[in-house]
Amino acid sequence: MGAHREVPAGTGSGSDPGADEARHTLVRNIVARGGLADPAWRAAFEEVERHLFVPYYYVHGIGGYERLWGEDPDPVRRRRWLRGVYGDEALATRMRDGELVSSSSQPSLMALMLEALEIRDGHTVLEIGTGPGYNAALLSHRLGDAAVTTVDLDPEITDSARAHLAAAGYRPTVVTGDGARGCRQRAPYDRIIATCTLPSVPPAWPEQCTPGALILAPVATGLVLLEVRATAYGPRAEGHFLHTPAYFVPLRGASPLPEPIARPGGVPRRAIGDELFRFLLTLTAGRLDPHEALSLWEREGRPQRERYGVTVADGRQWAWLDDPEGPYTWPLGEGF
């Protein structure tokens, strides 16, 4: 479980009864839906206070975005803020020129991702996409500060995350830099987790892993879980997508994500409206004609995400259906 730490005055269990109750309710709801089966992760979600990491966030309002914050003099708006903080939803935490540049992920999705990594005591973890710092705090609670490194390109984001983490009593290593390059000075890592959407898996990540390490990254509109193996030609990272859809802010500094054709002629509306077909279109955008994608999708029985995978090896990277060496493979763009 997590290492013992001194929590600053004003934080920790019992500091805000309303927040405590809201947090415990959130955890109970995630558990009721089958999440947080690992007691260590349940303890982390019970004890790490999300409201310390999202002192304000933005919601859609009339004519644009509305800012909710915990120090609002209006008690009704403060209650709205707290209700949103401990709702099971992603929160827009930083906007720039009307564009979303940072967010706090949906808690149940965070729980699913952290449990999928099969983290054990003694593991070291690299997080790509620091955001407000909440996920890094959960990792630090589980493994201790020294085991956690988190990277973000934006100094405003990393400065803010350090402050949030310190207020909550956590001090992992927070690095301002290009997440696609990893963080070589802190390598090797037993686990890498990305909380931003990628066009492909940066080749630097497997190179900074221990043999047997796991990498979990959002690619297309899914989450791919790769295992890293050592070979005579260098590391090989390979694995399948998880079952769940996932939508994150894109990794800044990477090439733009390919856009699938919204409604190619001759492709039925029912297919375009199917989330799994759109996943295939996004995964193969620019590399597989949409009509060919439709034929494949129907011929293979509308495959679930778990049948798709990604391989990074020998300076190449490709996505595949069922078999990395099978008939259905598509190169993934470098993007970095």
E-assigned strand segments in 19-61: 56-61
Q: How far apart are CA 176 and CA 212, in angstroms?
A: 27
- Report DSSP state, residue 60: E
Positive or negative, the Cα torsion across 219, 222, 228, 232? Answer: negative
Q: What is the dihedral of CA 297, 301, 302, 304, to 10 degrees?
A: -120
Provide the 10 A C-beta neighbour count for residue 306. Answer: 12
User: Per-domain residue ranges for the chain?
Assistant: 17-195
Catalytic residue among 102, 105, 108, 200: 102
Task: Name all contacts of 118-121 with Cβ < 8 Å and 24+ positions apart.
Answer: 118/214, 119/143, 119/190, 119/191
Q: Find out whether 210 and 190 touch, Cβ atoms under 8 Å.
A: yes
Decide if 102 is catalytic.
yes
Q: Report the pLDDT value the prediction gives residue 264, as an integer from 0 to 100.
A: 63
Q: How would you class 197 by CB atoms within 10 Å of its CB: exposed for 0-12, middle for 13-18, buried for 19 or more?
A: buried
In the three-class reduction of DSSP (H, G, I as helix; E, B as strand; rest coil), residue 214 is classed as strand
Q: How far apart are CA 281 and CA 186, in angstroms?
A: 37
Distances (CA, A) of 318 to 282, 283, 310, 321: 14, 10, 6, 10
The CATH classification number of 17-195 equals: 3.40.50.150
Tokens of 188: 């090797």
- Report DSSP state, residue 249: P
Q: How far apart are CA 219 and CA 197, in angstroms?
A: 6
In the three-class reduction of DSSP (H, G, I as helix; E, B as strand; rest coil), residue 212 is classed as strand
The side-by-side arrangement of strands in the sheet containing 329-331 is 173-176, 148-152, 125-128, 189-194, 209-219, 222-231, 234-245, 308-313, 316-321, 329-331
The answer for residues whose C-beta is within 8 angstroms of residue 39's C-beta and 6 or more apart is: 1
Q: Report the pLDDT value the prediction gives residue 101, as an integer from 0 to 100.
A: 85
User: What is the enclosing helix (H) or strand (E) of 96?
Assistant: strand 91-96
Q: Report the pLDDT value the prediction gives residue 61, as an integer from 0 to 100.
A: 76
Q: How far does CA 69 lie from the centroid of its chain?
A: 24
Q: List, run by run, the mean pLDDT of 10-residue segments along the chain (336 residues).
A: 43 63 97 97 97 94 85 94 96 86 94 98 97 97 98 95 97 97 97 94 96 96 96 95 91 58 68 90 87 93 97 95 96 73
Q: Report the pLDDT value the prediction gives residue 92, as an integer from 0 to 100.
A: 93
